[in-house]
Structure 1
Amino acid sequence: MKCTEQGMSVLIFVRLDCKGGQARLFTLLGNVKAYSTATSERKKFYQDVSISQGDDGLFEISLDRRKLKTPGGKLFTVPNEALAIAVATEWDAQKDTLKFYTMHMTTLCNTVLDNPTFRDKDQIITAALKFLETDTVCYRVEEPPGLVELQKNEWDPVLDWIEKRYNVVIGSSCNIMGPEIPEETKETFRQHLGSYNFWALTGLEYVITQLKSVVLSFGLIDRHLTVEQAVLLSRLEEEYQIQRWGSVEWAHDYDMYELRARTAAGALFVHLSSESSTVKRKLLQD
Structure 2
Amino acid sequence: MSGWAQKRFWKEVSVVQTEDGFAVELDGRRVKTPAKAPLAVPTRAMAEAIAAEWDAQTESVDPGTMPCTRSANAAIDKVTHQHSEVAAMLAEYGDSDLLCYRADAPAELTLRQAQEWDPALDWAAEALGVRLQPRTGILHQPQEAAALAALAEQVHAMTPFQLAAFHDLVGISGSLILGFAAAQGWRSADELWLLSRLDERWQEEQWGVDEDAQAAAEVKRQEFLHAKRFYDFS
Give the TM-score normalised by structure 2. Answer: 0.87
The correspondence for 1:123, drawn from 85, 88, 108, is 85
Matched letter for residue 272 of structure 1: F
Match of 1:49 in 2: 13
Question: Aligned to 1:203, which of 145, 157, 165?
Answer: 165
Q: 1:193 to 1:41 in 2, by over 3 A?
A: farther
Distance across 1 between alignment mates of 2:56 and 2:21: 23
Task: Tell me the amino acid that sits aligned with residue 164 of structure 2.
Answer: T
In the alignment, the residues of structure 2 paired with residue 246 and residue 83 of structure 1 have an alpha-carbon distance, to the nearest angstrom, of 40
Task: Give per-residue Cα distances to partners, 1:99-147, cap 9 Å, x unaligned.
Answer: 3234221111111221289413x22221111111221111111223322
Determine what percentage of the aligned residue pairs are the same residue: 26
| Structure number with higher helix proportion | 2
- The answer to whether the aligner puts 1:61 opposite 2:24 as a matched pair is yes
Residues 149-186 of structure 1 show CA distances to partners (whole Å, capped at 9, x for unaligned) of: 22111111111221232332311112323342111111
In structure 2, how many angstroms separate the alpha carbons of the residues matched to 1:204 and 1:222?
Answer: 11
CA distance in 1, matches of 2:206, 2:63: 36
Deviates more, 1:88-97 or 1:77-86: 88-97
**Alignment equivalent of 1:248, drawn from 190, 202, 210:** 210
Cα separation, 2, equivalents of 1:227 and 1:41? 36
Match of 1:141 among 103, 110, 115: 103
Change (3 A) 1:236 1:94: farther
Q: Which runs of 5+ in 2 are unaligned?
A: none
> Once the two structures are superposed, what CA deviation does each residue of 1:49-72 show, in whole Å capped at 9, x if it has no partner?
221223x15222123443222111
1:280 matched to which residue of 2? none
Q: How much has 1:194 moved relative to structure 2?
A: 3.1
Alpha-carbon contact 2:8-2:58 (below 8 Å) kept: no
Indicate whether 1:263 and 2:224 are aligned.
yes
Task: Kindly tell me the number of residue pairs found equivalent between the two proteins.
Answer: 231
Higher Rg: 1
Describe the SS at the equivalent of 2:36: coil
3-state SS, counterpart of residue 70 of structure 1 = coil
Q: Which runs of 4+ in 1 moved over 4 A?
A: none
Taking structure 1 as the reference length, the TM-score comes to 0.72
Alignment of 1:4-153 (within 5 A): 42=5, 45-46=8-9, 47-54=11-18, 56-95=19-58, 97-115=60-78, 118-120=81-83, 122-153=84-115
Residues in 2 aligned to 1:117 and 1:219: alpha-carbon distance in whole angstroms: 23
Aligned partner of 1:18 in structure 2 is none
Counterparts in 2 of 1:116 and 1:231: CA distance versus 1, 3 Å: closer
Residues 116/267 of structure 1: CA separation in 2 closer, same or farther (3 Å cut): closer
Paired amino acid for 2:227:
G
CA RMSD of aligned residues (A): 2.4
